[in-house]
Amino acid sequence: MYSTREKNKITKRKCILDAAIRLFSKKGYEQTSIEELAREAGIGKGTVYSYFQTKKDIVRAFCEDELEFTREELTSNTNPETPLKEQLMIFFSAEFKHLSRNKEFGRLYLQEKVFPGEHHSEEDLEMQNRYFELLFPIYQKAQERGELRQNLELLHISGHFYALYLLVTSCWFNGMIPTENIVEAMSTMLDQVIEGLKP
pLDDT at 120: 63
Residue-level pLDDT at 118? 60
Round to whole Å and give the CA distance between 102 and 173.
11
The predicted-structure confidence for 67-79, as pLDDT tens digits, reads as follows 888 889 888 998 8
Q: How far apart are CA 119 and CA 138, in angstroms?
A: 30
Inter-CA distances, 49 with 4, 27, 115, 153, 181, Å? 21, 20, 25, 41, 40
Q: Could you count the other beta carbons within 10 Å of the beta carbon of residue 190? A: 21
Question: What share of the chain in percent tops pLDDT 70?
Answer: 96
Per-residue pLDDT tens digits for 86-129: 999 999 999 898 888 777 778 877 877 777 666 666 777 777 88
For the chain, what's the residue count? 199
108: phi then psi, degrees, rounded to nearest 5: -65, -45
* Alpha helices for the chain (secondary structure H): 4-27, 34-41, 45-51, 55-77, 84-99, 103-114, 122-144, 154-173, 182-197
pLDDT band (50, 70, 90) for residue 150: very high
- Is the distance from CB of 109 to CB of 99 less than 8 angstroms? yes
Task: Write out pLDDT tens, residues 28-54.
Answer: 888 889 999 999 999 989 999 999 988
